[in-house]
Structure 1
Amino acid sequence: MDRIREAKRLFYLGKEQCDKSRFPEAIASWQQALTIFRKIGNRQGEANSLGSLGNAYNSLGQYQQALDYHQQSLTIAREIGYRQGEANSLGNLGVAYYSLGQFQKAINYHQQSLEISREIGYRQGEAISLGKLGNAYYSLGQFPKAIDYHQQSLEIKREIGYRKGEAASLGNLGSAYDSLGQYQRAIDYHQQSVEIAREIGYRKGEAICLGNLGSAYNSLGQYQRAIEYLQQSVEIAREIGYRKGEAICLGSLGRAYNSLGQYQKAIDYHQQYLEISREIGNRQGEAFSLNNLSETLKKLNRFAEAEKNLWEAITIWEEIRGGLVDDSHKISIFETQKQAYQNLQEVLVAQDKFTTALEISERGRTRAFVELLRQRLTTPANLDKAEEKTTYITISDIQKVAKTQNATLIEYSIVFGEIYIWVIQPTGEITFRQANLKPLETLGKSLNNLEEIILKARVSLGIVEKDNNNQTITLESEFIKDKQDNFPLLQLLYKILIEPIADLLPSHPEAPIIFIPHYALFLVPFAALQNPQGRYFIEDHTPLISPSIQVLQITHEKRVRNLQKKALVVAEPTLHESFQKDPYKLKPYPSMIEAGESIASILDTQSITGNNATKVAVINQMLGTRILHIFAHGLLDEYQNEENAKLGIPGTIVLAPDGEEDGALNAAEILNLELNSEIVVLAACSTGKGKITGDGIVGLSRCFILAGVPSLIVSLWNIGAPAAKFLMTKFYQNLSQGENRAASLRHAMLETKKRFSSPKAWAGFTLIGESDPLELTIQKIQEALRTMANLDNCTPEEIVDAFSRLFDTCDNQFLSQITGLDIQTDSIEELAERIKKWCKTRPNVEENIENEIYEAGAADADEEKPEILEEILRRCQEKYRANENRQTSQNLSSDNKG
Structure 2
Amino acid sequence: MGIRRRLRAEVKRIDGLQAAREGRWQAARDDLTLALEALTAEGLRAEVPKVLEPLVTACMMAGLLDEAERRAVDFRAWAADHGDPEDRATAIGKYGEVVAQIGRLVEAAEAFREALVALGEPADETGGELRWSLLSNLGSALAHAGRFGEAEQVQHRAFEVARELDSAARAALAASQLSLAANGVGHRERALEWAEVAHRCVRSDDDDLVVAEVEGNRALALSRAGHTAEAEEAMERAWAAARSIPLIAQQARVTKLEVLSRAGRHDEAVALADALLAALPPGQARQRAVALNLRAGIRLQAGRPAQAVADLLSALELKQRVDDHRGMATGHLNLAHAFLGTGDLPAARHHARRAQELWEPLLRAASDEAGSVGLFDTHATALTQVAQELRLGVDDVTGALEAAERGRSGPLSERIRAARPARAQVPAEPPGSERMRRLARRMGATLLVYAPHFEIEAVSGQAPLLREIHMWVVTPDGGVHHEVQREVSDDDRLDEARPVDFLEAVRQLERQVGDDALMAGWSDALLGKVAHLLPSGPDARLVIVPQRGLWSVPFAALPVAGEPLVSRCSLTMVPSLHALELIAHEDVWRGEAAAGSSGALVVGGVRNAVVPTPDGRLLPLSDLPLTLETARAVARVHRASALAGPAATVPAVLDRMGSADLLHFSCHAVLDARLRLDQLPGCIALTPAGAEHGQLTSTLLASTPTRARIAVLGCCATGQGLVTADGVLGLARTFLIAGVSTVVATLWEVPEEPTHDALVCFHQELARTDDPAEALRRAVLMTRRTWRAPEIWAAFTLIGSPGPRRGEE
Task: Give the TM bin, normalised by the shorter chain.
Answer: 0.7 to 0.9
Q: Deviations over 1:68-123 (max 9, x none)?
A: 77677667666999957777666666555555434445556666777788889999
Q: Displacement, 1:276? A: 0.8
Out of 681, 686, 700, the position equivalent to 1:649 is 681
Q: Does 1:264 align with 2:306?
A: yes
In the alignment, residue 550 of structure 1 is paired with which amino acid?
Answer: H
- Amino acid of the structure 2 residue aligned with 1:289: G
- 5+ residue gaps, structure 1, are 458-464, 467-472, 480-487, 777-898
Counterpart CA distance in 1 for 2:514 and 2:269 is 40
Q: Tell me, yes or no, if the aligned pair for 2:146 and 2:375 is still in contact at 8 Å.
A: no
Match in the other structure for 2:660: 625
Q: Does 2:438 align with 1:395?
A: no
Question: Partners of 1:167 and 1:542 in 2: how far apart?
Answer: 53
1:713 aligns with 2:736: no
Cα offsets for 1:799-853 (capped at 9, x unmatched) = xxxxxxxxxxxxxxxxxxxxxxxxxxxxxxxxxxxxxxxxxxxxxxxxxxxxxxx
Q: Secondary structure at the match of 1:254?
A: helix
Q: Find the aligned partners of 1:42 and 1:439 in 2 and give their Cα distance.
A: 63
Whole-Å Cα distance in 2 between the matches of residues 36 and 250 of structure 1? 38
> Equivalent residues in 2 for 1:426-465 (5 A)?
426-435=476-485, 443=493, 448=500
Whether 1:367 and 2:410 are equivalent positions in the alignment is yes
1:217, distance to aligned residue in structure 2 (A): 0.9
Q: Contact 1:412–1:419 (CA<8 Å) still a contact in 2?
A: yes
Where in structure 2 are there 5+ consecutive unaligned residues? 1-38, 454-465, 613-617
1:372-411 CA-to-partner distances (Å, cap 9, x unmatched) read 32343348xx98x99xx64544434433432432322111
Q: Secondary structure at the match of 2:264?
A: coil
Change (3 A) 1:594 1:63: closer
Aligned to 1:565, the other structure's residue is in SS state coil
Partner SS, residue 227 of structure 1: helix
1:543 to 2:571 alignment? yes
Question: 2:228 — aligned with what?
Answer: 183
Structure 1 position 271, deviation (Å): 1.1
1:207 aligns with 250
Give the alignment of 1:766-777 within 5 angstroms. 766-772=797-803
Q: Distance in 1 between matches of 2:78 and 2:335?
A: 48
Of residues 446, 452, 460, the one that matches 1:408 is 446
Distance, in Å, in 1 between the alignment partners of 2:782 and 2:53 is 82
Structure 1 residue matching 2:275: 3-state secondary structure = helix
Distance 1:329-1:69 versus aligned 2 partners, 3 A rule? closer
Q: What is aligned with 2:708?
A: 677
Kindly provide the amino acid, as one letter, of the partner of residue 422 in structure 1: W
Q: What displacement does 1:676 show?
A: 1.5
AA partner of residue 411 (structure 1): V
The structure 2 residue matched to 1:500, chosen from 529, 553, 557, is 529
Output the CA distance in 1 between the equivalents of 2:200 and 2:764.
63
Q: Please give the alpha-carbon distance, in whole angstroms, between the structure 2 residues aligned to 1:509 and 1:436.
A: 33
Q: Secondary structure at the match of 2:66?
A: helix
After superposition, what is the alpha-carbon deviation per residue over 1:550-605, rounded to whole angstroms, capped at 9, x for unaligned?
221222245776344333444544565999xx999857455x65555444434333
Give the direction of change, closer, same or farther, for the CA distance of 1:645–1:633 in structure 2 (3 Å limit): farther
Q: 1:327 aligns with which of 343, 365, 369?
A: 369
Structure 2 counterpart SS, 1:767 = strand
Matched residue, 2:320: 278
- Quick check: which has more Rg, 1 or 2? 1
* Aligned pair partner of 1:298 in 321, 340, 359: 340
From the superposition, tell whether residues 427 and 112 of structure 1 become closer, same or farther in structure 2 (CA, over 3 Å): same
The one of 454, 462, 473 equivalent to 1:423 is 473
Deviation track 1:853-892 (CA, whole Å, cap 9, x = no partner) reads xxxxxxxxxxxxxxxxxxxxxxxxxxxxxxxxxxxxxxxx
Separation of aligned partners in 2, 1:333 and 1:132 = 17
Q: Residue 556 of structure 1 aligns to which amino acid in structure 2?
A: A
Contact 1:634 1:686 (C-alpha < 8 Å) held by counterparts: no
Report the Cα distance in structure 1 between the residues aligned to 2:717 and 2:142, rounded to whole angstroms. Answer: 41
Task: Call closer, same or farther: CA 1:717–1:121 in 2, change over 3 Å.
Answer: closer
Distance 1:614 1:152, change over 3 A: closer
- Against the structure 1 CA distance between its residues 378 and 238, is the aligned structure 2 distance closer, same or farther, given a 3 Å change threshold? farther
Aligned mate of 2:274, from 218, 231, 238: 231
Percent identical among aligned pairs is: 22
Does residue 23 (structure 1) correspond to residue 55 (structure 2)? The answer is no
* Stretch deviating more after TM superposition (154-163 or 101-110): 154-163
Letter in 1 for 2:584: H
1:742-891 alignment to 2 at 5 Å? 742-746=773-777, 765-772=796-803
Once the 2 structures are TM-superposed, how far is the Cα of residue 61 of structure 1 from its aligned partner? Answer: 3.5
Q: Give the C-alpha shift of residue 501 in structure 1.
A: 2.3
- Measured after TM superposition, the shift of residue 269 of structure 1 is 0.8
Match of 1:701 among 732, 749, 759: 732
Deviates more, 1:143-152 or 1:292-301: 143-152
In the alignment, which residue of structure 2 is the partner of 1:552? 580
Instruction: State whether residues 408 and 424 of structure 1, in contact with CA within 8 Å, keep that contact through their aligned partners in structure 2.
Output: yes
2:599 corresponds to which of 540, 558, 566 = 566
Q: Residue type of the partner of 1:423? A: V
Please tell me the residue identity of whatever aligns with 1:562: A
Query: Aligned pair in 2 of structure 1 residues 496, 348: CA closer, same or farther (>3 Å)?
Result: same
Deviation per residue, 1:298-334 (Å, 9 max, x gap): 3323344334323433554454444434434544555
Q: Does 1:356 align with 2:394?
A: no
Q: Secondary structure, in 3 states, of the residue corresponding to 2:473?
A: strand
1:38/1:529 Cα in 2 relative to 1: closer, same or farther (>3 Å)?
closer
Residue aligned with 2:681, SS: coil
d(CA) in 1 for partners of 2:489, 2:272: 42
SS at match of 1:647: coil
Q: 1:764 deviation in Å?
A: 5.2
Query: Are residue 516 (structure 1) and residue 558 (structure 2) matched?
Result: no
C-alpha distance 666-294 of structure 1, shift in aligned 2 (>3 A)? same
1:219 and 2:262 aligned: yes
- The secondary structure found in structure 1 opposite 2:579 is helix
- Work out the CA distance in 2 between the residues paired with 1:453 and 1:243: 37
Q: Which letter does structure 2 place at the counterpart of 1:649? A: P
> Aligned with 1:562: secondary structure?
coil
- Would you say the 8 A contact 1:70–1:93 is kept in 2? yes
Q: Secondary structure at the match of 2:661?
A: strand
Which moved further from structure 2: 542-551 or 210-219? 542-551
Distance in 1 separating the partners of 2:200 and 2:502: 40
CA distance in 2, matches of 1:452, 1:155: 25
Shift of 1:622: 4.2
Deviation of 1:252 after TM superposition, in Å, equals 1.2
Alignment partner of 2:355 out of 313, 329, 332: 313
- Note the C-alpha offset of 1:219: 0.9
Counterpart secondary structure, 2:472: strand
Answer whether contact 1:234 1:246 (CA < 8 A) is retained: yes
Q: 1:493 to 1:623 in 2, by over 3 A?
A: same
User: Deviation digits for residues 334-357 of structure 1, max 9, x if unmatched?
Assistant: 554434443443443333232232
**What residue identity is the alignment partner of 1:373?**
I
Contact kept in structure 2, 1:595 and 1:722, CA below 8 Å: no
Q: Distance in 1 between matches of 2:171 and 2:508?
A: 47
Instruction: Note the aligned Cα RMSD (angstroms).
Output: 4.8
